[in-house]
Amino acid sequence: MFPALPAAPVIQFDSLAGSEENAAFNGLDPSGQPMFSVRHDFVIDKGTTAHEMGHAYQKVLEKKFPGRDFLASYWTFRGFPGTWQQALAQSEAQPTFSGKWIYNPLESWAEAFRAAVTLEVKEKTLDYGKTINPTAMRQFFQSLNQ
């Protein structure tokens, strides 16, 4: 579905209990393979997997096409107000982890990627009153690899 993603990710050791994240994308290794970990007491599901793959897809695209602002393209496609940088500043100003997460444009991207993969109308980040269209999101994300 997204040929830019490497075929085999790197699965790292489990995260410890007490982490606020159930699963995490931990960047790309030196060969460009996405690295992931899951909290040891969390059973990964399809939605969480797709969300974390969304983070990886962004980094893979940024490596493949340096200088392109994929978050700006996403922000415009969704019709969100302001810029993703303004949303990031708002996110960083929140006092709690969950507050930061809801406003974070990187998490919004990953939630949209999850919707594109699962074709579910479900989003845990702020949608600014613009309900996600999973099919349109899938087409959007597929178009970025060109």
Domain that includes residue 128, residue range? 10-143
β-strand 23-28 against 34-38: which pairing, if any?
antiparallel
Inside any domain, residue 80: yes
pLDDT on residue 17: 56
Contact 40, 64 (CB under 8 A): no
Assess if residue 123 is contained within a domain. Answer: yes
- What is the reported pLDDT for 23? 84
Which pLDDT belongs to residue 19? 64
Q: Is 18 left (phi over 0), alpha (psi -120 to 50) or beta?
A: left
Does 1 fall in a domain? no
Scan for tokens 């969300």, then name that residue: 51
Alpha helices, DSSP H only, in 31-118? 46-64, 70-78, 84-92, 97-103, 105-118
What pLDDT was estimated at residue 41?
A: 80
Which residues of the chain are under the pLDDT cut of 70? Answer: 15-20
Tokens standing for residue 127: 């949608």
**Is residue 4 a part of any domain in this protein?**
no
Rounded to two decimals, the pTM is 0.91
Residue 50's pLDDT is what? 93
pLDDT in tens, 42-80: 777 899 889 999 999 999 999 999 999 999 999 999 999
In a domain, 5, yes or no: no
Q: Which phi and psi (to 5°) does residue 24 adopt? A: -145, 140
Give how many domains the chain has, as a whole number: 1
Q: H or E segment at 90? A: helix 84-92
Supply the pLDDT for residue 11: 75
